[in-house]
Structures are given as C-alpha cells and as structure tokens.
Amino acid sequence: MKPNIQAASDGHLKPGRSGEPLGSNSEIGRKLKQYYDEIVSEDVPDRFADLLKQLEKREESDASREGA
C-alpha cells in the first residue's frame, strides 16, 4: 500500500490521490483548527483584564521614572 502523501523535491509535502494535504489526518487538523478558533474568539475574563490593566499602569510608571 502506498502512502497518500509523497515528499516533493523541495522538502514540502504534496497531496496524493485523495487531494487532502494531510491525508487521513485532515479531519484531526480541521477539528484542531475549529477548537483553536473557538478559544481565540472567547472573551478575556474580567479578572485577567484587570490584572493586565494593573501591569500596563506599572510599566508606564516604571518607564516614566526611567526617563526622568
């Protein structure tokens, strides 16, 4: 049995007969991308947003002290 993906001469993979660059792993790739997209689109919890604001304020005050 031949693999679905063959190495191209430039080192990149090229699709075999199925037309899917990942072959049998394409469904896994789609699910991972879907999961990643869902996580990226989630809102930042209020507690983390507050902590980020505090950090920004501290960095600004540190920068102003160094520049003075």
pTM surpassing 0.85? no
- Tokens matching residue 14: 């090229």
What's the pLDDT tens digit per position in 25-64? 888 989 999 999 999 999 889 999 999 999 999 999 998 8
Beta bridge partners of 13: 7
Burial class of residue 39, CB neighbours in 10 A (0-12, 13-18, 19+)? exposed
Residue type, 12: H
Domain positions in the chain: 6-67
